[in-house]
Chains A and B, each alone.
Chain A
Amino acid sequence: MPNLDSTFSALSDPTRRAILARLARGEATVMELAQPFEMTQPAISRHLKVLEGAGLIVRRVEGTKHPCRLAKDGIEAIDEWLAMMRDALTRNYDRLDEVLADMKPKKRMKKR
Chain B
Amino acid sequence: MSKMTLKTEGDRYVVVTRRFAAPPEAVYRAHTEPELVQKWMLGPEGWTMPVCIIEARPGGKIRYEWTNGKGGGFSLTGECLELEPYSRLVHVERMHLPDPTPDNHIETRFEPDGAGTLMTMRMTLPNAETRAAMLATGMEHGMEASYVRLEGLI
Contacts and interface: CB of A to CB of B under 8 A. Distances in A.
A104 B14 contact: no
A104 to B, nearest CB: 6
Interface in B18-39: 18, 20-22, 26-27, 29-30, 33, 35-36, 39
B1 A3 contact: no
Contact of B42 (A4, A11, A18, A91): A91
Given A83-B148, A88-B44, A100 B14 contact: no
A100 B27 contact: yes
A89 B1 CA distance: 11
A85 B11 CA distance: 17
B40 A92 contact: yes
A67 B30 CA distance: 52
A24 B127 contact: no
A12 interface: yes
A2 B128 contact: yes
Interface residues of A, number: 42
A96 B131 CA distance: 25
B139 A88 contact: yes
A109 B1 CA distance: 28
The A interface is mostly helix, strand or loop, or mixed, namely helix
Nearest to A17: B154
A102 to B, nearest CB: 8
Contacts of A20: 150, 154
Given A2-B128, A103-B30, A83 B145 contact: yes
B135 A89 contact: no
B4 A21 contact: no
B22 A100 contact: yes
Interface stretch (A31-39, A40-48, A57-65, A71-79): A71-79
Given A5-B128, A91-B44, 7 more contacts: A12-B10, A24-B151, A79-B150, A81-B131, A81-B134, A82-B6, A90-B4
29 contacts: A4-B131, A5-B127, A8-B125, A11-B153, A11-B154, A12-B8, A12-B10, A17-B153, A17-B154, A20-B154, A80-B140, A80-B145, A81-B126, A81-B134, A82-B148, A83-B146, A84-B134, A84-B139, A87-B44, A87-B147, A88-B139, A89-B4, A92-B42, A93-B3, A93-B18, A103-B26, A104-B22, A109-B33, A109-B35
Interface of A: 1-5, 8-9, 11-12, 17-18, 20-21, 24, 75, 77-93, 95-101, 103-104, 109
